[in-house]
Amino acid sequence: MTDARTRIEHEIAAQPGVHFNELVRSLPFAAGHVQYHVRSLVTDDSVLRDELFGRTHYFPPGYDAFERAAIALVRRETTRDILAVLIEAGPSRPAAVAEDVGVARSTLEHHLGNLCDAGLVEKERDSRNRVTLVLADPERTGDLLADVTPTLPARLVDRFTRLVDDLLAE
């Protein structure tokens, strides 16, 4: 295996669920060079490639489908913040979570749709049909949050989204 391929494989192992663009930014290789080696790593089953929530993510072997989906979501700062609020506060109403995270309800609903699809969050309804957000598996979710830290570019994209939401709300 070439030095470049080994370095790319190690970068994916260090950042499970890394998106291709993040991978390219974190390495000193051209995008085409990274793409060539990633394709070979996927073919050799040294790396898993998964299309999740509109993006291509790369994982070292050993992650199941739930973990891959969860990690892909947790790499996004807003999603991490939503999960952190639910871990700290426990079951909560959507309006309270949106306020704590500092996002518009529409932004919260977008992220909740993905979180519910991935099986991380459940929407429970009471007798009056009011929604309460509940973590499906708080312990496993907490472990995933501890394992994944979003990169600076990912945080900047989320912060830009929040800024636009704030501007549109005014």
Nearest to 42 by CA among 22, 60, 28, 25: 60
Please tell me the CATH code under which domain 71-169 is placed.
1.10.10.10
Q: What is the mean pLDDT of the chain?
A: 87
Residue with tokens 């939401």: 165
Beta partners for 18? Answer: 58
Question: CA-CA distances (angstroms) from residue 133 to 5, 54, 57, 74, 108?
Answer: 42, 24, 27, 17, 11
Q: What is the pTM of this model?
A: 0.75
Question: Is 153's pLDDT higher than 70?
Answer: no
Q: Across the chain, how many H-helices and E-strands are there?
A: 9, 5
CA dihedral of 41, 30, 153, 65, whole degrees rounded to 10: -10
Q: Supply the pLDDT for residue 140.
A: 83
Question: Is 155's pLDDT higher than 60?
Answer: no
Q: Supply the pLDDT for residue 3.
A: 93
Task: Return the domain boundaries, the chain.
Answer: 3-63, 71-169
**10 Å Cβ neighbour count for 108?**
21
* pLDDT band at residue 161 under the 50/70/90 scheme: low
Q: Supply the pLDDT for residue 152.
A: 45
13-35: pLDDT as tens digits: 988 999 888 899 889 999 999 99
The domain defined by 3-63 folds into: Arc Repressor Mutant, subunit A (1.10.10)
Question: Is 169's pLDDT higher than 80?
Answer: no
41-74: pLDDT as tens digits: 999 999 999 999 888 999 999 998 988 999 899 8
